[in-house]
Amino acid sequence: MARFSLVQQVHQLLARLLQPGDIAIDATVGNGHDTLFLARCVGAGGKVYGFDIQQQALDSAWQRLEQAGETGPVSLYHAGHETMRFVVPASVQGRVRAVMFNLGYLPGGDKGRTTSASTTLAALQAALGLLAPGGVISLLAYTGHPGGRDEAELVKSWSATLALDLFEVILEVPPGMESAPEWLWIRRRR
Ligand SMILES: C[S@@+](CC[C@H](N)C(=O)[O-])C[C@H]1O[C@@H](n2cnc3c(N)ncnc32)[C@H](O)[C@@H]1O
């Protein structure tokens, strides 16, 4: 499956789930395409927290949000997503409707600065604790760059340890395509 259509598929699913006033997290802001999408879904009465380790990414994302007139609900943090539990207000914990991860490197940026398995796993674990009942984590893993395959495999192994009475786990791995993106969807049951 092409990267573009997988991103679109994720946006379609999240657009059905997210309501005006909801709280969402973009765990990998990058150039801000997903942040903007989330901001539009939750609207002026909602909230989007975004994380990235590169100032270049945050600047690019903020510019995108400004041009679209959608900065209102968004707070961006120059911090690793593994810190999200300490950065978002305590009042938000257990109320987050969606957390998006789009792993890999910043398109147009330094391809050596990718997400890494240890911090990704720490962030996923933190995100579980923030989800509202019915809330979801969506993760796209790109396997074609150095380290991408190992990271995707560790994420899949981690997801296999989740308690299925607490979480619904869906994994989409395109068959026979070694470097194709893979998609993980985790929903907290009610
Ligand atoms: C594929 S890009 C994200 C694309 C983005 N969602 C968009 O819509 O444009 C991955 C991003 O993850 C960021 N990243 C790497 N490690 C990170 C970490 N520990 N915490 C947060 N972001 C991280 C990179 O700097 C990069 O900008």
The string of pLDDT tens digits covering residues 101-160 is: 999 999 999 999 999 999 999 999 999 999 999 999 999 999 889 899 999 999 999 999
CA-CA distances (angstroms) from residue 129 to 5, 50, 167?
29, 17, 12
C-alpha 50 – ligand 1 centre gap (Å):
10
Residue 114 has what DSSP assignment? B
Those residues whose C-beta lies under 8 Å from the C-beta of residue 66, and which sit 6 or more positions away, are: none
Q: Which of 8, 49, 115, 182 to mutate to test the pocket of ligand 1 (most atoms within 8 A of CB)?
A: 115
Residue 83: strand, helix, or coil: helix
Contact 37, 9 (CB under 8 A): no
CATH number belonging to domain 3-188: 3.40.50.150
* Residue whose CA lies nearest to ligand 1 atom number 5: 30
Domain ranges in the chain?
A: 3-188
Distance, in Å, from the CA atom of 109 to the CA atom of 125, rounded to the nearest integer, reads: 27
* Closest listed residue to residue 43, CA positions, set 62, 68, 64: 68
Q: Look at ligand 1, atom 17, and give the residue with the nearest C-alpha.
A: 115
Residues having CB closer than 6 A to ligand 1 are 28, 30-34, 51-54, 57, 80-82, 102, 104-106, 113, 115, 119
Residue 1 has pLDDT above 60, yes or no: no
Q: What was the pLDDT predicted at 4? A: 53
User: How far away, in angstroms, is 82 Cα from ligand 1 center?
Assistant: 12
List pLDDT tens digits, range 5-50: 789 999 999 999 999 999 999 999 999 999 999 999 999 999 999 9
